[in-house]
Amino acid sequence: MIASDGGEALQRVMSEHFDLVTTDHGMPGMSGVQLADSVRRIALAKRVILLTGFAHGPAQQPASVNCVLKKTLVPDELRAAMQSLGKGVGERVPAAGDVLPSGV
């Protein structure tokens, strides 16, 4: 599903089933972090990947986000993050460029 802004994405998350939410940090209406915070209030177990051009170190990763991937997005990084989240490797996935857990 693609949404035109954070408000539309939130409405769809509330009315439809999604295993994973992938959001851009900078969106009209609300940031990706605000969307992630709202998604987690609705469904604590929902997985969220944040795409950003901003610098985020592991210590700066918002608690409502499972994984931060830096733009320009590399498809293999997205695939590895999705696989890690799907396997239940942990609540949080290392940031792009960090070493992913073995077996991923």
Contact 67, 52 (CB under 8 A): no
* Tens digits of residue pLDDT in 11-50: 999 999 888 999 999 888 899 999 999 999 988 888 999 9
Burial 37-76 (b: 16+ CB within 10 A, else e): bbbbeeeeebbbbbbbeeebeeeebbebbbbbbbeeeeee
Take residue 22 and report the two structure tokens written for it: 């992938």
Neighbours of 22 (CB within 10 A): 18
Task: In whole angstroms, give the CA distance from residue 43 to residue 91.
Answer: 14
Task: In whole angstroms, give the CA distance from residue 34 to residue 38.
Answer: 6
* Tens digits of residue pLDDT in 39-80: 999 888 889 999 988 765 656 788 899 988 988 888 898 888
The domains found in the chain, sorted by start residue, are: 6-86 (3.40.50.2300)
